[in-house]
Copies of this chain bind each other. A is one copy, B any other.
Amino acid sequence: MKDGDSHIAPEQAPSGPTPPARPRGSPAAFLLAQVGAHAAARFGELLEPLGLTPAHVGLLRVVGRSSGASQQEVAELLGMFPSRLVGLVDELQERGLIERAASPHDRRINVLLLTDAGERTLTGVGRIARAHQDRLLGALDSQERATLASLLGRIAQDQGLTPGVHPGFARMGPVTQPLSADEPQKRDSD
C-alpha cells in the first residue's frame, strides 16, 4: 500500500493543503466544544494579570459562597480529589485570599474562610468575567444572548451538569481535549 494514489479521495486535488476555511457550518456539538474551549482559554488569559488560574477562581467562589465548609466538603462540591485541593488552598492562603481555621468540634477538620482581601478579589474577578462575556458575545445582541443562555441552560440541566461546576475532574481521566477537527456532517450515507 505504498504505491497507491488510487484510494485518495478525488474530492480534493492533492496539489496542496486545503485552506482551513470552509463556508459550511460545523455541527452544533462541535461548535459547542470549540467555542467553549475558546471561552475558557480567553477567561484564563484575562485572569493572568491577577496571578490566578481558573482553578483558583473556582475555589475562591465556592469558599465565598459556602463559607465555613471543610476541605473535604469543598472537594466533594467541586468533584475533585482532596489531595488536589491542598495545593490550591495553599496558594490562595499564601496570597491571603482565604484561610484555614480549625473546627472547634473536630480538630481534624480545616474550615475554609474567605478573607476581606479574598472578597475584594472576587469582586474584581466579577468585573473581569463580565468584560470577558461582553467580548465573547460581542456578535450577539442582548436578546440573542438571552436565547443562547436559555438554550445552554436547558442542555446543562438535561445533561445533569452541576450548576457552576466545570466537568473535567471526577473520574474521567485527563481533561486535555486536543484537536479533533470538524466532526463529520453526513459521512454516514455512503
Contact = CB atoms under 8 A, between A and B. Distances in A.
Interface in A132-190: 132-133, 136-140, 144-145, 147-159, 161-169, 172, 174-188, 190
A92 interface: no
Given A58-B180, A78-B179, A40 B31 contact: no
A152 B186 CA distance: 20
A26 B153 contact: yes
A86 interface: no
Given A8-B68, A14-B68, A17-B73, A32 B152 contact: yes
Nearest to A21: B163
Contacts of A26: 149, 153, 156, 163-164
Interface string A57-71: 111011011111110
Interface string A87-117: 0000000000001010000000001011110
A40 B125 CA distance: 26
B12 A67 contact: yes
A152 B33 CA distance: 10
Given A35-B159, A156-B31, A68 B12 contact: yes
A29 B129 contact: yes
A175 B18 CA distance: 26
16 contacts: A7-B115, A12-B68, A17-B73, A28-B133, A30-B129, A33-B39, A34-B156, A37-B175, A40-B177, A45-B172, A55-B178, A58-B179, A123-B184, A126-B185, A133-B183, A166-B181
